[in-house]
Structure 1
Amino acid sequence: MTNFKKYISTYFTKRITVVVLLSVTLLGGCQTHPRGLDLTPTPRTLVYSYIIANGMARGRIMRGAVSHEQLIALAKIDRQALLSILIAQRYPSHRNFHLAEDAVIAYLAAIES
């Protein structure tokens, strides 16, 4: 009887080992090609970023934390950012998206300074 128990134990141990190894192999195959996160700007993300930056500028102006010269500079850079985004929407290209993204970043920097 002990040989039978030993046979059953060995049989199930081998089967479980095979199932576990097969499962790990199959699940490991799912992880071989990570997709990653795509962070390229799109017209929608650029417009959304501009709207947020515009709200930040409005808040700073409403607090009275902006001098007349700073207000004029903010208005100029605001217009440049908006124009860059509209150009990227109308003529989508990697270069135009990059220029629009840089304009929004410059707008944010102007708001913070």
Structure 2
Amino acid sequence: MISEGHKNYELMLNLQLGIRYSVGKNASITRALKPADFDPKEKFWTRFPTEGSKCTPPHQSVDFRWKDYCPMVFRHLREMLGIDPVNYMLAICGSDALRELSSPGKSGCLFYLTQDD
């Protein structure tokens, strides 16, 4: 469990804030997917300063930049799988902390799990 004082606490907060921003921003857009939506170059950078901006809320973490890859594709995937955007955001960004799982492989990757897995 990641809690305040954990070495990756700020990373978890930044992930939650970036996901909340991305999902909320695209939740109301309803249009068919275009081939360009699948292009790996289809990404959007957003800066999250601690004091907030016209697009982002103030937060208590460090300044960070968020890269949102193929947002319309992921929005459509959630829709096709019947995943409600509000429930999705609550599971990931709600009051419960994420759990960190280290990869047993060479990469040393970290995975973050919600309380409902």
Normalization by structure 2: what TM-score? 0.33
Name the structure with the higher helix share.
1
Name the structure with the higher strand share.
2
Normalization by structure 1: what TM-score? 0.34
